[in-house]
Amino acid sequence: MENENILTIKDLDVRLFTDRGELPVIDRLSLSLQAGETLGIVGESGCGKSMLASAIMGLVAHPGKVTGGSIRFGGQELVGMKKRDLRKIRGTGISMIFQEPMTSLNPLMTCGRQIMETITSHEKVSKAEAKERALSMIRSVGIARAEKVFSEVPAQLSGGMRQRIMIAMALICRPRLLICDEPTTALDVTVQAQILGLIRRLQKETGTSVIFISHDMGVISQMADRVAVMYAGQLVEYADAEKIFSEPKHPYTQGLQAAIPRLDEQKDTLRSIPGNVPMLYELPKGCIFFPRCAFATERCHAERPGLVETEGHLVRCFQYEASESEKEQDVSEKEQAVQHDDRNAGSAAQGAEQKDEKGGAQV
């Protein structure tokens, strides 16, 4: 994997302007994505995952608005970019697979024509070449009867087949970044496994970077190299996938992981996180996870924690901020102890020299 950031998001702020005031859908979020990497974004419904995808694509609609921050893709600033220039990037630079293909595909157009339009809107090619490329892509997403499906409308296909067509449309112009917004939520587990395997295979073949959005920690564990955990518009934990699943730090991440059913455990009830994600117009004064957290203190009720780096994680929690402060204090105490020992050693050496001088004078 190259050490090149294809996408860098810094202090992104997205707000909804409503009768209840400005609602922070995304609150000063920062993250990055390297070339060829898969970044998993996980959280409950309403945490801001899909709004983040819309912000990257430049598709935040009224009453939403990007009110601050930066989104840089391939060296270009996307925030504030003209719509005409954004359209050039969509499809060729960044592409997206939506959650429900039935509402994303045109019900009146054949699947083949929709894929061809994706090609011809970005490239100057003949209809014959566009058709051949569309048929080739339909085959590459695992549809054997490509010619038949090419001529069918979305309503004639199953949910899994429609999602394959969406993947074909998303990848037909070879984008550098593919955003998958819960692409398997509406599918049964067998088809879900096939779609996940298809995305992994195509990513490996094309080298495309992927942002994979899901509320399912099990799916994220299969797909992601790094994981960003979101809660009520905030990034609460960010680390390599292996670290997130082996040693989650934030209480919310721990709760999400504990809620995953395990085959090696037999329990009458599944674990769950008590309470609900707060409404954006009813966010608590302090830590936004405070009302649902088993480790909350009075400080959590009064203050909002920032992101703290600890053991390879970025985590938004006071208990790790305290541990970092203690570490700094320990280092300071050790430095003082070393300086004290050095002074003592110097005093002892000076005393020995003076004693030697006195002894020499007596002789």
10-residue mean pLDDT profile of the chain (363 residues): values are 81 96 96 96 93 96 96 96 93 90 90 96 94 96 95 94 94 95 86 92 93 94 97 97 96 92 68 89 94 94 95 95 53 51 53 49 38
**Confidence (pLDDT) at 325:** 46
Residue 229 identity: V
**Confidence (pLDDT) at 187:** 82
Look-up: residue for tokens 């010619």? 147
Tokens of 62: 């009224």
In this structure, are residues 18 and 43 in contact, taking their beta carbons and an 8 Å threshold?
Answer: no
**Confidence (pLDDT) at 91:** 87
**Confidence (pLDDT) at 362:** 42
Sign, CA torsion 246/250/256/259: positive
How do the domains of the chain map onto residue ranges? 1-93+179-261+272-316, 104-172
Q: At what angle do helices 111-120 and 127-140 cross, to 10 degrees?
A: 120
Look-up: residue for tokens 């945490």? 47
**Confidence (pLDDT) at 343:** 55
- Region of residue 177 (left: phi > 0; alpha: psi -120 to 50; beta: else): beta
Helix, strand or coil for residue 39?
A: strand
pTM over 0.75? The answer is yes
Tokens of 107: 């019900």
**Confidence (pLDDT) at 293:** 95
What residues form DSSP beta bridges with 12? 29
Instruction: Supply the CATH classification number for the domain 1-93+179-261+272-316.
Output: 3.40.50.300
Tokens of 234: 């905030």
Distance CA 210, CA 203 (A): 8
HSE-up of residue 271 (Cα within 13 Å, Cβ side): 13
Q: Identify which of 33, 6, 14, 8 has the alpha carbon closest to the alpha carbon of residue 232.
A: 14
